[in-house]
Structure 1
């Protein structure tokens, strides 16, 4: 019953999840008086959302007719989930750790800094092992983020019924000799097969309509071919990318001074070396470029970590907070408290 409810009310469920997730970011005192309770709520919402994704994926797989065009990321991850149960379990474990890692760190910090860093290093080691397993399962193909498919959009029954009513009304109007209103929908979902007849394009926009229907090279590739196998220096780059969080966490746990530049320089150097060892070629796929672009943007978080944050960013943000209105500065101060005291608050892996 719960699965049917989620699949029939996807848009409403997604909106509720987004609202609750946003609430955990803006409620007063999120990271001070009730930090553990608030982060527990946030992690629970993330885990529930992941469970809903699995229910919706199951519902999509049961839909009749040809599947809709999917993103390369979803095609690739679904292929490996269906092919390997081990991949599905490892990817699910990795996602669960990423959703709850800050909560684990908050709980460990209450027992002292030594326990906190033990938990941080342990979680980073477990995540690295999971990623190395995924690298092995996919036959040395680059890792994707996230490792699980993103949420699919499925047609809700009410929307389908509305389309049928509109089509029948238009059909009756045409039979009576009248013309439908400009811009009216002509999409119709066939009851037996479940396939939908596409809406007619605007006469002035036929070129764009035709271009949107053109298949690209990636659309006809096998899902496993959406990412090329890595070898040599490219394989070393992928391994360094996996091990970099572990190296940085160990260095931070052994550093007694937050303003010490050595752990920060070590972690950034390993990440930079991983990017330099990667080789671009004519065989680079769109999904591969997308993943490396994500990693490039994620490097911006180094401005919020370790010595760079303590020596540069922190002072700038505190001065900025003093100049902002009280409502905005209150929210920023809560995040400053989070960034000041927790490793996983700025983790991008």
Structure 2
């Protein structure tokens, strides 16, 4: 009986992978529909917030699952160790589910159970990120670690494959390396094996080579190559990873309304960014992450006790002025004004990053 069930599940899984790999656009529309549904559910009935967050989290996990299937089908699987990939996927799933888990814990076990769950999630996440930094030399880690796959690359890759000439034996007549760069001049030249017949040559190879280079560049985005961090930057990333745990411990010692956790957390964030130094030698993804962390310092305006004592009233007044004087903005601003206090009370909305 167990074997029959296992075989049925395996067949269903293989069928699902086939459907996803053959219909990426349809899959993308279904994923977008799930996210829209999560917004539609919010505020419709009791406990709709928990259900809405569950649907939204499930849609993110579904995107991650489908991305993995599409990458494998297109032979664009990131080159990294299996253990590293598993840990990164685990953190990504945790970060997608953390808000839902917090809200569900509050409903089931009250405020005490909620804070226990929050502490467990932050400790586990920080421990895994620190292990990736030390043992796998991951470097600057984005949030979430696995960003959504650029599915436009699938179309370009498929088109590039379809343009390959087929030889008499049914195999590709193109050399895997269709261009090479001259050592002295740096000029890109097509290999003889990749050249078309003389009667079809127009000697204008710049466009073809540029397209191939773009494909190779976009493929490299899936390689997850991290810039090596020196001792100072390693300390900076370690501080950033441990900041949530330090903040929670400070809240436990000083209380939720104390300024000490807020000041300590802000100080650690600023110190981490200062120790990173000039990001000009980092890759594109790492530069984007540093800019994101800098921008997220604005979240301290929404974090208690600063929000409760200073920014709440000013933000609500500003939103009210915009909703009153800008035509059509009230459709977005007024629901935001109503939801902002409830949104601010969810720990992982304002402290999860």
Whether contact under 8 Å (2:91, 2:144) holds in the other structure is: no
Task: Check whether the contact 1:31–1:337 (CA below 8 A) recurs between aligned residues.
Answer: no
TM-score by length of 2: 0.70
In the superposition, relative to structure 1, how do residues 86 and 210 fare at CA in structure 2: closer, same or farther (>3 Å)?
closer
Q: Does 1:86 align with 2:83?
A: yes
Q: Does 1:54 align with 2:62?
A: no
User: Aligned pair 1:234/2:233, yes or no?
Assistant: yes
Within the candidate set 331, 338, 343, 2:347 is matched to 343
Partner of 2:265: 267
RMSD (CA atoms): 4.0
SS at match of 1:233: helix
Distance 1:20 1:13 in 2: 11
Q: SS at 2:305's partner residue?
A: helix
Q: 1:220 to 1:338 in 2, by over 3 A?
A: closer
Aligned pairs for 1:184-333 (under 5 A) are 188=163, 226-258=225-257, 260-280=258-278, 283-320=281-318, 322=320, 324=323, 327-333=331-337
Which 5+ residue runs of structure 2 have no aligned equivalent?
1-14, 175-193, 195-204, 325-329
Determine the C-alpha separation between the residues in 1 that align with 2:263 and 2:286: 27
Determine which of 10, 33, 36 is the counterpart of 2:50.
36
Rounded to whole Å, the distance in 1 between the matches of 2:292 and 2:266 is 16
Cα distance change, pair 34–254 in 1 and its aligned pair in 2 (3 A): farther
Give yes or no for contact 2:126–2:242 (8 Å, CA) kept in 1. yes
> Whole-Å Cα distance in 2 between the matches of residues 207 and 263 of structure 1?
57
User: Aligned residue for 1:178?
Assistant: none
Deviations, residues 252-286 of structure 1 (Å, cap 9, x unaligned): 3445453x322211101011111111233774444
Does structure 1 conserve the Cα–Cα contact (< 8 Å) formed by 2:42 and 2:48?
no
- Does the Cα contact within 8 Å between 2:236 and 2:276 map onto a contact in 1? yes
Report which structure shows greater RCO (CA 8 Å, sep ≥6): 1
Post-superposition Cα deviations, 1:81-134, rounded to whole Å, max 9, x if no partner, equal: xxx221111111101110110111112222222221111111111110110121
Distance 1:125 1:22, change over 3 A: same
Provide the residue aligned with 2:178 in structure 1.
none
Unaligned runs of 5+ in 1: 62-66, 68-74, 164-186, 198-205
